[in-house]
Copies of this chain bind each other. A is one copy, B any other.
Amino acid sequence: MIQVAVMGHGVVGSGVTDILLKHTESIAKKVKEEINIKRVLDLREFPDSPIADRFTKDFNDIISDDEISIVVEVMGGLKPAYDFVKQCLEKGKSVVTSNKELVAAKGAELLEIAQKQNVNFLFEASVGGAIPIIRPLHQCLAANDIEKINGILNGTTNFILNKMINDNMSFEDALALAQEKGYAERNPAADIEGHDACRKICILASLVYGTHVYPESVHTEGITKVTLKDVEYAKAWGGAVKLIASARKNGDKQEIITAPMFVNNDCQLSNVDGVYNELLVRGDSSGTIGFYGRGAGKLPTASAVVADVMDCVLHKDERRNIMWKDGNGDNVLPYETYVHAMYVLCETNDSTASFAKANEIFGACEKITMEKAPSNELAFITPELSYADFTAKCAEFAKNADVKSSIRIAKI
């Protein structure tokens, strides 16, 4: 019998206990041992739970119980999750987490402790919810040099953008709807400012390129400045605005960024629905591989957590060799050097003259024609150029027209 503790009984935590209780037998058959939830840590009371007697508010009931060999952390946030997880690993307990903030901020350190203690620290559920991503990237694509990964990794912002694209809803209305449906939190900053997607691409880049990437090293833009106009021009151009988290190899270093981008309709990422996530990975041998599914939600995320718990049981005397070294951001190239074509929207009294100016400054641009566009609007796509170069040239262009928006064109 394997004794497990679950720290946190929120959305994901209650999903974990639900699955472990519902599938006790079939799971035991697969891992050849019964998994028992010995403790659940939460500050709240759950008198109606079928395992109400196992709830505790005291972390000591877990850390000092030597029978508990696997601890699930689904509290979220860094405090006290980081401290608790560290103590568990140091005590020789394997830890499974869905906490992307924790892995993005402390992954290298926690993996090192796990290695020293010869226990597992697994986090499949931290990226893409139920979608198998960490393990396939680590194992199945192991024979590849990963050239780039691009993904829609945050369902909340994808839902909001889709409402803007399909229902012509403003950002504010779409956000309110997402909150109403429970897709967005009361304080939606982590989602709409891009931090959540950034944490996930940090985890994936750390895994794939072997050096921890901290969110502070990654240029991150959210979707709060994306307007309905931008969405309409993206459509007229033949694409959609999506919040893209991207990491690509450039020599020995990486270009990593999270930002709204124009995605061409040819690309699978352009039509990812609602709260779904999709990740495209390009390996030198495999070509492009796609992973698609629900990136969040109680049972999808919980099922990924439970699969990691099962993996811990199957490999209890052996460490899974997921590992990366610590990093100081040196491996992340400055975002000003990343090369993209750029969408520019401006207001001008003379759009012919302004477009001529754009061509003079940026090189040959592609004008976006949209039915019923006001005559004082001009939208165009520049040739590819570095962001630094774009900023300088855009400042010059802004002398001739009132620049309203600029958005990168995704290179997927």
Contact with B along A269-296 (1 / 0, CB 8 A): 0000000001000011111111111100
Question: Are A294 and B286 touching (Cβ within 8 A)?
Answer: yes
Contact with B along A48-69 (1 / 0, CB 8 A): 0000000000000000000000
Decide yes or no: A283 and B130 within 8 Å by CB, A135-B135, A145-B26, A293-B289 being known contacts: yes
Instruction: Please tell me if A257 contacts chain B, counting CB pairs below 8 Å.
Output: no
**In the complex, A145 Cα to B303 Cα: how many Å?**
10
- A interface residues, how many (CB within 8 angstroms): 48
Instruction: Please tell me if A368 contacts chain B, counting CB pairs below 8 Å.
Output: no
Most buried by B among A15, A142, A321: A142
Contact with B along A123-151 (1 / 0, CB 8 A): 01000001110011001111111000000
Q: What are the residues of chain B within 8 A of A291 when measuring CB–CB?
A: 289-292
Tell me the minimal C-beta distance from A144 to chain B in angstroms: 5
Q: What are the residues of chain B within 8 A of A203 when measuring CB–CB?
A: none
Tell me the minimal C-beta distance from A197 to chain B in angstroms: 19
Instruction: Please tell me if A378 contacts chain B, counting CB pairs below 8 Å.
Output: no
Copies of chain A in the complex: 2
Q: What are the residues of chain B within 8 A of A268 when measuring CB–CB?
A: 292
- Chain B, Cβ-Cβ closest to A137: B132
Tell me the minimal C-beta distance from A249 to chain B in angstroms: 12
Instruction: Please tell me if A28 contacts chain B, counting CB pairs below 8 Å.
Output: no
Which of A75-83, A186-194, A305-313 binds B?
A305-313
Question: Are B145 and A289 touching (Cβ within 8 A)?
Answer: no
Q: What are the residues of chain B within 8 A of A27 when measuring CB–CB?
A: 142-143
Instruction: Please tell me if A314 contacts chain B, counting CB pairs below 8 Å.
Output: yes
